[in-house]
Chains A and B, each alone.
Chain A
Amino acid sequence: MGDRAAWTAGTACKSEHTDDRMRVAERALAELARRGASGEVHVASVSGLTAEFSAGKLRNCSADGRVHLSVRASRSGRIGFYSTTDASNPGEAVERALETAECGEELEIAFPSRGIPGGDMPPAAFDPEVADMAADALVRQVGALTAEVEAATPGSQVRSAGRRETEDTVLVNTAGGVVRDRHTALTLFVELSRFAAEDVLLLFQEAGAARLHDPAVEGFPARLGDLYGAAATQAGLAPGKRRVVLAPEAAYVLLAPMFQGVNGLNAVRGTSPLIGKVGSQVLDSRFTLTDDPWLDWAIGSALWDEEGTPTRRKHVFRGGVFKGFLHDLRSAAMGRTESTGNGRRVRGQAPQIGPYSLVIEPGDLPMADLLAEADGGLYVASVIGGGPGGLAGAFSHPVGVGYLVKDGRLAGRVKDVAIAGNVYDLGRHGLVGLEDRTHTVGSMYGAALKVPHILLDGVDVAGK
Chain B
Amino acid sequence: MSENQPLYAPQVPIFPRRVTGYFRTLKWWIMAVTLGIYYITPWVRWDRGPALPDQAVLVDLAGRRFYFLWIEIWPHEFYFVAGLLIMAGLGLFLFTSALGRVWCGYACPQTVWTDLFILVERWIEGDRNKRVRLWNADWTLHKWRLRLTKWIVWLLISIATGGAWVFYFTDAPTLLRDLISFDAHAAAYGTIAALTATTFIFGGFMREQVCIYMCPWPRIQGAMMDDDTLTVGYREWRGEPRAKKRLEDTGDCIDCMACVNVCPMGIDIRDGQQMECITCALCIDACDDIMDKIGKPRGLIDYLALSDEPQERAGQAPKPVLKHILRPRTILYTALWSLIGFGLVFALFIRAEIDLTVAAVRNPTFITLSDGSIRNTYILRLRNKHGEPREFRLSLSSDEILRIDVEGAQTHIVTVAPDSSTQQRVYVTARPQDAAAQQDHTDLRFWVEDVISGERAFRDSSFDGKDTK
A and B interact: no
Which residues of B approach A to under 8 Å, CB–CB? none
